[in-house]
C-alpha cells in the first residue's frame, strides 16, 4: 500500500501532487481507474495501481489513452465513479472519444485528468489543454498545489454527477511533481466502495447518430449554463485581499507565484487577487464584479491567454473601463512555464515598481559543458543501435531513421545519431511509409514495445496493405521503461496480477508482415547478421526485427 493511502484522516502527509489526486479520488469513492503512463501524469496511475488490492478498485494500464477513456466512460455509465489519467498529449489520442462523452454525458462521476507540461520537461510540445475544455465543453478544474489537487480530485466526482458531465482536471508539471503537506480525510471502507454497478439502457441518449446528437448538443449547452452557475459559487473560485489599485486574475500554479511575488514586493495591501480554480465555464458575474472593483487588471496564466481573451471579451460586452494587462507584460508570454521572477516582474511593471535582475554570483570564463541524458549503462537499446549500424555500413548516411517515443529517442544524440524524425506516439511506422514512398532512400522505423501496442499497429497494417518498403525495428525491452517500468499487453502480467500476453511476433504476422525476425541485440554478431538479412528483405516489403532484451533497470530493481 503506498504511503499516500496508508495514513488516517486528519494527518498531514508530504504528497506529490499526483499522489494527492489519487488519494482525493479514492476518498471520493473511486471504483474504476485507467491510464496510459506518461510524464508528468504517471504517478497517478502508479499510486492507484498499488492501492487496487486493498481498496478493491478496478485498475488497468490500458493500451492507450483513447481506450483508457472509453473504459472509464463505460464504467461511469454503469454507475461506478471512474477516473482516467494521462499526460497532455495523451488527450490528443483520446480526443475523439472525449468530444463525444460531453454529448452523451455521464451517470456516475467521471474525471479526466490531464497533466500538462509547460516548458516541455519531458514532452514534444507544451499545448495548453484548457483549450480542450473550451473545445469539448467540459467543466474545468485547475489546482494550484498538491493540497488543492487533492481537494479538487475529491470534489470533481459529485460535481460531475450533478452536471451529468465528465470533469476535466488539469494539472501541470509543477503541481503534479511538487510535494507539499496535504491534510487527508477518511477513506471509505472497502465494502462501501462501489466497484460494480448496472448499465441501464437508453440508446437514444447513448448511441450518438446524428438525430440523437442534435438534441444532445443543445443539452450540453444547457448543462454548461448550470456549470457556470456552479462556478459562480465554487469554493475554488475566490477573492483574496481588498486592494483596488490592481486586480490579478490567475489560475493554476501561477497563483502560487503571485502570492510569493506580492509578499516579495510588499504590495499585498494595494492588490486583490481573483483565483479561479473552476475556470471553465467562466463565472462571468464573479469576474465582472471583480473587474469592476479594481483600477487595473492583470491576468497571470501560463501558456495560452485563455482567461485573458475571455476577460477582454467580457469587458467589451459589459463596457467595463478597466485596463486589462496580460501576455507581454513583464516576463509574461505564451512560452514556457512561469516562475517567481517572471510573475514578479509583471506585477512590478503594472504597479510602476523597479524589479532588478540579480547578477550571477559567478561567471564562467568558458561555456560549461552540457550534460544531456544518455541511455543507461548496459541498456539493450545501445546494442540494437550498434548492431544495426554495423549492418548498414556505408549506407548509414543515406538511411532515414524514423524514431518514436521512449528511452530510445535518446538514439538522437551522437555518437549513435540514429533519429531523423519524430512526431508523436506511433509516428515512426506511419512516417516510414511516407518516407519510403516519397523518396528512394532506405527507411528504418524504430518503435518500442509499449509504443507499438499504443499506436503502431494501424500503421503496420497500412504499410502491409499499401506495400510500403521499410524496416521496422521493435525495440522490445519488456516494459514501459521511460515512465517507470509499467507493464504492457506483450507481457504475462498486468498491474494487478498474471495476464495473457499478446506476443509481438504473432501480432505482426497477423498484420501480414511476412518477415518477422527475433534477435537478442546483446549477441552482437548474430544481431548484425539478422539485421543484414532483414535490410535486404525490406527492400522488397515491410520487414520487422524484434530486438528483444529486458531493460537493464528491470534486473537492477529499477
Partner 1 sequence: MPERLKVYLIGVGGQGSLTAARLLGEAALRSGVEALVSEVHGMAQRGGIVETAVLLGGYRSPILGRGAADLLLAFEPLEALRALGPLKKVSPKGWVITNTHPIRPITVSLRLGRYPDLERAFAEVKGHVKQFLKLDATALAQEAGSPLALNMVMLGALSATELLPFPVAALEERIEAFAPRFAEVNLRAWRIGREAIARALAAPAAS
Site of interaction with partner 1 (CB under 8 A): 12-14, 16, 39-40, 42, 121-122, 145, 173-175, 177-181, 253, 255-257, 259-260, 339-341, 344, 357-364, 366-376, 407, 410, 413-415, 482, 553
**Cα angle 241-246-248, degrees, rounded to a multiple of 5:** 70
User: Minimum Å distance from CB 366 to partner 1?
Assistant: 7
Q: Where are the alpha helices (DSSP H) in 441-503?
A: 449-451, 457-465
User: Minimum Å distance from CB 339 to partner 1?
Assistant: 6
> Closest CB to partner 1 among 200 and 371?
371
Long-range contacts of the stretch 464-469 (C-beta < 8 A, 24+): 464/511, 464/512, 464/513, 464/541, 464/542, 465/512, 466/433, 467/541, 467/542, 468/432, 468/433, 468/436, 468/437, 468/542, 469/436, 469/443, 469/538, 469/539, 469/540, 469/541, 469/542
Report the 10 Å Cβ neighbour count for 170: 27
User: Minimum Å distance from CB 473 to partner 1?
Assistant: 20
User: Minimum Å distance from CB 301 to partner 1?
Assistant: 15
User: Distance of CA 214 to CAs 77, 103, 206, 264, 496, Å?
Assistant: 20, 9, 12, 53, 41
Render the burial of 487-515: b for 16+ CB within 10 Å, e for the rest. bbbbbeebbbeeeeeeebbebbeebebeb
**DSSP secondary-structure letter at 2?**
-
> Closest CB to partner 1 among 9 and 179?
179
> Closest CB to partner 1 among 173 and 538?
173
User: Minimum Å distance from CB 251 to partner 1?
Assistant: 14
> Closest CB to partner 1 among 12 and 467?
12
Candidates 405, 541, 525, 526; CA nearest to 471 is: 541
End-to-end CA distance of the chain: 18
User: Minimum Å distance from CB 403 to partner 1?
Assistant: 16
> Closest CB to partner 1 among 15 and 112?
15
- Containing H/E element for 21? helix 17-27
> Closest CB to partner 1 among 383 and 482?
482
User: Minimum Å distance from CB 19 to partner 1?
Assistant: 12
User: Minimum Å distance from CB 176 to partner 1?
Assistant: 9
> Closest CB to partner 1 among 407 and 519?
407
> Closest CB to partner 1 among 145 and 228?
145
Amino acid at each position: 500500500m503506498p504511503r499516500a493511502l496508508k495514513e488516517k484522516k486528519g494527518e498531514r502527509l508530504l504528497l506529490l501532487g499526483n499522489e494527492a489526486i489519487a488519494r482525493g479520488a479514492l476518498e471520493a469513492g473511486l471504483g474504476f481507474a485507467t491510464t496510459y503512463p506518461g510524464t508528468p501524469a504517471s504517478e497517478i496511475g502508479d499510486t492507484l495501481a498499488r492501492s487496487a488490492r486493498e481498496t478493491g478498485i478496478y485498475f488497468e494500464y490500458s493500451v492507450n489513452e483513447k481506450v483508457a477513456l472509453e473504459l472509464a466512460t463505460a464504467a461511469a455509465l454503469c454507475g461506478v465513479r471512474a477516473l482516467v489519467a494521462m499526460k497532455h498529449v495523451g488527450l490528443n489520442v483520446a480526443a475523439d472519444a472525449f468530444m463525444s462523452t460531453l454529448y452523451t454525458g455521464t451517470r456516475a462521476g467521471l474525471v479526466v485528468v490531464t497533466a500538462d507540461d509547460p516548458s516541455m520537461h519531458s514532452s514534444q510540445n507544451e499545448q495548453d489543454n484548457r483549450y480542450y475544455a473550451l473545445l469539448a465543453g467540459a467543466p474545468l478544474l485547475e489546482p494550484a498545489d498538491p493540497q488543492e489537487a487533492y481537494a479538487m480530485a475529491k470534489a470533481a466526482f459529485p460535481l460531475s454527477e450533478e452536471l451529468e458531465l465528465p470533469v476535466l482536471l488539469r494539472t501541470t508539471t509543477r503541481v503534479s511533481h511538487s510535494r507539499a503537506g496535504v491534510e487527508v480525510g477518511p477513506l471509505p471502507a472497502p465494502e462501501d466502495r462501489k466497484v460494480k454497478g448496472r448499465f441501464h439502457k437508453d440508446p437514444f441518449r447513448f448511441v450518438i447518430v446524428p438525430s440523437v446528437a442534435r438534441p444532445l448538443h443543445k443539452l450540453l449547452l444547457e448543462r454548461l449554463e448550470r456549470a457556470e452557475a456552479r462556478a459562480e459559487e465554487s469554493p475554488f473560485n475566490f477573492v483574496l485581499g481588498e486592494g483596488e489599485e490592481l486586480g490579478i486574475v490567475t489560475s493554476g500554479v501561477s497563483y502560487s507565484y503571485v502570492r510569493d511575488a506580492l509578499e516579495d514586493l510588499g504590495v499585498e495591501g494595494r492588490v486583490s487577487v481573483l483565483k479561479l480554480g473552476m475556470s471553465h465555464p467562466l463565472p462571468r458575474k464573479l469576474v465582472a464584479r471583480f473587474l469592476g472593483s479594481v483600477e487595473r487588471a492583470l491576468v497571470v496564466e501560463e501558456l495560452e491567454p485563455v482567461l485573458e481573451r475571455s476577460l477582454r471579451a467580457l469587458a467589451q460586452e459589459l463596457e467595463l473601463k478597466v485596463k486589462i494587462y496580460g501576455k507581454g507584460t513583464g516576463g509574461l508570454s505564451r512560452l514556457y512555464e512561469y516562475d517567481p521572477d517572471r510573475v514578479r516582474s509583471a506585477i512590478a511593471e503594472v504597479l510602476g515598481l523597479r524589479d532588478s535582475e540579480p547578477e550571477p554570483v559567478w561567471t564562467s570564463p568558458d561555456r560549461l559543458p552540457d550534460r544531456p541524458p544518455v541511455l543507461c549503462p548496459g541498456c539493450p537499446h545501445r546494442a540494437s543501435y550498434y548492431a544495426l549500424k554495423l549492418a548498414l555500413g556505408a549506407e548509414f548516411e543515406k538511411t532515414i531513421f524514423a524514431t518514436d517515443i521512449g528511452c530510445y529517442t535518446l538514439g538522437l544524440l551522437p555518437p549513435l545519431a540514429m533519429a531523423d524524425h519524430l512526431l508523436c506516439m506511433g509516428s515512426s511506422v506511419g512516417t516510414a511509409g511516407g518516407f519510403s514512398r516519397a523518396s528512394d532512400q532506405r527507411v528504418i522505423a524504430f518503435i518500442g514495445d509499449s509504443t507499438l501496442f499504443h499506436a503502431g499497429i494501424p500503421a503496420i497494417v497500412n504499410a502491409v496493405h499499401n506495400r510500403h518498403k521499410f524496416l521496422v525495428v521493435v525495440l522490445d525491452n519488456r516494459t514501459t521503461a521511460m515512465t517507470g517500468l509499467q507493464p504492457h499487453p506483450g507481457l504475462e502480467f498486468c498491474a494487478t496480477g498474471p495476464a495473457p500476453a499478446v506476443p509481438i511476433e504473432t501480432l505482426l504476422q497477423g498484420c501480414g508482415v511476412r518477415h518477422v525476425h527475433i534477435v537478442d541485440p546483446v549477441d552482437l554478431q548474430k544481431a548484425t547478421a539478422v539485421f543484414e538479412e532483414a535490410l535486404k528483405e525490406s527492400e522488397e516489403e515491410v520487414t520487422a526485427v524484434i530486438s528483444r532484451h529486458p531493460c537493464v533497470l528491470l534486473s537492477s530493481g529499477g
